[in-house]
Structure 1
């Protein structure tokens, strides 16, 4: 993955779960640090560098979702959420908070570790060549520098939001399918809840870009399309 071992902070109030997740990550070369509450985790995050945050939704005091929202204000560290809840509303809540991925309990420890490894690899290797700047009308994306500008405004995005924006902007005017987005942005095939991850990340992107224009449109049953922003568009009513 890299010369230095990636560091993961695992947050769960159950000793057994901390052991399972920690051991699984260590088998893939992670250095693992644990915390039993959102406040303990926040203290560690403020004092140390981590390459991944593995976060249980149900925690004493502040919830995992609340901690994720707090982290996203100051950091784009990849967040993987663990949840025993399987309803669409619960999954969406975590993704809207800024999580990059989620795993539903019970889970395969090996699958969790491999997905964690993939997330960190994408983050560490995310800088493409300088020639890959993407321009679509007033939108300019420099993935190598992780810089997004709309007109004169700088748009702050998480890592997964940036990857999704690049995937759509590179093919502006074309439909990008669900499967293509899952593969390119999350490095996974179609999976249960995969469309929820896309939908909620698109929702966050729309909020960042603003509501003056319809930047990204859903194509029913297929995927998403980013409009060509150099073409005139009727104002919203």
Structure 2
């Protein structure tokens, strides 16, 4: 329980599953803090710092999806959902709630831990190349992980912010499905990967509002067109 990789809040009402997930995360250097309900998890989250939340969908009282939505109101902490439901509608519900990834039970504990490691590493990554990215009135600060549109801060989840940045960095060019999976989720292959991208794009379009900020390119991926800044010069 060194915590070198970060602190993870693991939420599941099954004691055995809690132990399995916590142990897998601890083998990768995480400190795993356990909670058995959405209410307990929310109390811990409000009192302590966490780098990641691993959250079971089916919980007593408030569901994992409801807790994810609540977390998203005030925090951009990455969330991985654990679900025994493989249906597309259930995966989409979790992604619409703001989850960054999902893992379907039964799963490989080692794979879950490695996914957790990759997500936390991405959210912490800061390099000299992380300069302000702009396209018309859209401004993205990769270091602070903040996006503004017409001066208005966009309340984006971590995965939404990464997808927006990936498109903005290649403005005017098509970014393929596999490129988006690599840049945003760190994997070239993912069961239901296109559904994840489509759902995240849908949420982004809601945040961005009017205007053709993200264009679908049939059979290829997505493109962010070059947008002129029509705002008056403040000088």
TM (norm. structure 2) is 0.93
Task: Find the counterpart in structure 1 of residue 16 from structure 2.
Answer: 16
Counterparts of residues 79-90 of structure 1 (less than 5 Å): 79-90=79-90
Question: Does the residue aligned with 1:98 lie in a helix, a strand or coil?
Answer: coil
Q: Distance in 2 between matches of 1:32 and 1:3?
A: 8
User: Which residue of the partner structure matches residue 230 of structure 1?
Assistant: 228
Which structure 1 segments of 5+ residues have no match? 233-237
1:94 aligned partner: 94
Mind listing any 5+ residue stretches in structure 2 that lack a counterpart? Answer: 231-235
Q: Over the residues paired in the alignment, what is the CA RMSD in angstroms?
A: 1.7
Within 5 A, what are the aligned runs for 1:67-82? 67-82=67-82
Note if contact 1:129-1:144 (Cα within 8 Å) is conserved in structure 2: no
Cα distance in 2 for partners of 1:36, 1:115 equals 22
Change (3 A) 1:61 1:190: same
Structure 1 residues 88-237: aligned runs within 5 Å: 88-125=88-125, 127-129=126-128, 132-210=131-209, 212-230=210-228
SS of the residue corresponding to residue 132 of structure 1 reads coil
Alignment of 1:44-83 (within 5 A): 44-83=44-83
Tell me if 1:6 matches 2:10: no
* 1:5 Cα deviation after fit: 4.1
- Farther-moved stretch of structure 1 (71-80 vs 220-229): 220-229
CA distance in 2, matches of 1:89, 1:203: 15
* Deviation at residue 152 of structure 1 after TM alignment: 2.2
Q: CA deviation at 1:80?
A: 0.3
Aligned to 2:233: none
C-alpha deviation, 1:21, in angstroms: 0.5
Contact 2:175 / 2:222 at 8 angstroms: preserved in 1? yes
Q: Please state how far the C-alpha of 1:131 moved relative to its aligned partner.
A: 6.0
Q: Deviations over 1:113-169 (max 9, x none)?
A: 0000101111111x3337621111111111112221211212122221111111001
Distance 1:133 1:196 in 2: 29
Deviation at 1:198, TM superposition (A): 0.8
Cα distance in 1 between the residues matched to 2:133 and 2:3: 30
Q: TM-score, normalised by structure 1?
A: 0.92
Runs of 4+ in 1 over 3 A off after TM superposition: 2-5
